[in-house]
Amino acid sequence: MNDPNGPMYYKGVYHLFYQYNPQGPVWGGDIAWAHSISHNLIDWIHLDIALSPTDPQLDIRGCWSGSTTHLPNHNLAILYTGRDSKEHQFQHLATPKDLNDPFLREWTKSPLNPLMTPINGINPLEFRDPSTAWRGLDGVWRVVVGAQVDGKWKALLYTSKDFEHWTKSDKTAFYLFDNDLVVECIDFFPVGINGSDGDNHYLNEDQYEKKFAMKVSFQANKRDCYVLGQYSPEIDEFRAESEFMDKGCDLRLDYGKFYASKSFYDSEKRRRVVWGWVMESDHDVDAHIRGWSGLQSFPRTIVLSESGRQLIQWPIKEIEALRGDNVNFQNKELHGDSVLEIPGVTASQADVEVSFEFEVAELEEAEPMDPSWVDPQLLCNEKNASVKGTFGPFGLKVLALDDLSEQTSIFFRIFKTNIDTEKYKVLMCSDQSRSSLKNGVDKHIYGTFLDLDPCQEKITLRTLIDHSIVESFGGEGRSCITARVYPKLAVNKASHLYAFNYGTKSVKISELNAWSMRNAQFESSIGEENH
């Protein structure tokens, strides 16, 4: 499985579609839309495939990514990319066969397909992944599609009055990208100011103060990046506040293994929820041995930060229902070069929340920030979890052996800068360099700077651990790093959980909570041969 597609809430049921190869455990030409449903976003029932490749002129080479849209009168629509026998890409429509079925088990492809074709300079090999559609005050629907036009990557806007007949906007582009990286899986949505998720209104009415986020997936480096800005619905113009991957403004949903994400608005709980595809870090040979590859991240809520500078993500509240035994302690001093085991939890399947604080006066002794350290990932590689500093590294060691020969470290460092507007810089890293004793496994070190002033607030970390995946949320969700790891020995009861501080200065754990996590429940109506 790979990209999540068309997540939505309909008649009391959550739906997640996703890219799926029914013929094997790696990506292939028969990619279909698999379909799972849930009542709580935690426990899932796998249904039969919703969309399969069927037509040589439309989608025989795969039903690729797309989105769902709620239409008037409780109708629904899927817009997806199909690839024909010539490898050309088109946008297609599918609708539910029976709207009275809350599980939406069967979908019918429109006889009008394809609805959008690669014309007027659009590269037919690079035209894909329609966003969720929205409707303006004029009653006209809008949707954004990624495309390469005359060698340039653009987000193109298409419009329709009836959701069946679509026309490319006469605008050159809804958004023109400033790099030549392949663009995929565009997501465009509103987020409310003042730390709110707002609502799902795309119209800038006075009572709805908001910004808009455009998220894209860049294929070459497998990054999910976004920009924030203002959208004027009267003229269909999106004005971004920055460029994608600006130096010092590299906004990503996740700085680790997290790609091709898709969000939806949950009207039941008035929140926006996002998923991402978590890729494997080993090889196709391993996938064939296992019989499967690829998984989805934990669902996350998205809100706009109170500063308005970035998106904040946090695991959905429902995950807490899986919490079991709890370990709690407060005001624990971590002296320099110390490791503290956290006992009493199933370390291979846990939820950990910890907050760190410091003597503010001592922060003046933090290591100076070199102006050349502009790339946090390179900095995390240079100053990994084994390199001792002044304030840091400190954080958690998870999926660890008792001798620490296997471990995944999520940690922070504090640097002092010479910038008047930013006295300190906080680095967050996820170090997989010692995550496995296996050979041939990607052991990347990921990193990002955390938009946080350690003089004004504590540094917090929440980490969800599930045997071979580690999702970490720093600064109450300001930055997220997902790691895909394959411990060889630090599994099940042999796995340990530690807090640590390798800095010369002491760090205090203000509070730590760790919970053993129960298993989510899964059922299936798909034959075992399809798993």
Amino acid at 457: E
Contact between 432 and 486 (Cβ < 8 Å): no
CA distance 210 to 207: 9
Distance in angstroms between the alpha carbons of the first and the last residue of the chain:
10
Contact between 408 and 485 (Cβ < 8 Å): yes
Q: Long-range contact list for 197-203, CB < 8 A, 24+ apart?
A: 197/270, 197/271, 197/272, 197/301, 197/302, 197/303, 197/304, 198/304, 199/265, 199/270, 200/265, 200/267, 200/272, 202/134, 202/135, 202/136, 202/231, 202/233, 203/136, 203/137, 203/233
Q: Describe the chain by its helix, strand, coil percentages, rounded to 5.
A: 5, 50, 45
Contact between 400 and 495 (Cβ < 8 Å): yes
Phi, psi values for residue 363, rounded to 5°: -60, -20
The residues with which 356 forms a beta bridge, in sequence order, are 459, 509
Which of helix, strand or coil describes residue 363?
Answer: helix
R_g of the chain, CA atoms, integer Å: 23
Amino acid at 499: A
- 46 burial (CB, 10 Å; 0-12 / 13-18 / 19+) is middle
CA distance 365 to 385: 20
The residues with which 460 forms a beta bridge, in sequence order, are 355
**Any idea which residue has 């709580």 for tokens?**
40
Q: Which of 3, 197, 224, 351 is catalytic?
A: 3
CA distance 425 to 321: 35
Q: Which of 250, 264, 262, 257 is nearest to 310 (CA)?
A: 250
Beta strands in 110-245 (DSSP E): 122-128, 134-135, 141-149, 152-160, 167-168, 175-176, 183-192, 210-218, 223-232, 237-240
Please enumerate in sequence order all residues whose Cβ is within 8 A of that of 333, keeping only pairs 6 or more positions apart, or say none.
506, 507, 508, 509
Which of helix, strand or coil describes residue 289?
Answer: helix
CA distance 428 to 438: 25
The residues with which 218 forms a beta bridge, in sequence order, are 183, 223
Which of helix, strand or coil describes residue 397?
Answer: strand
> Would residue 187 show up in a list of annotated catalytic residues for this protein?
no
Amino acid at 136: G
Active site members: 3
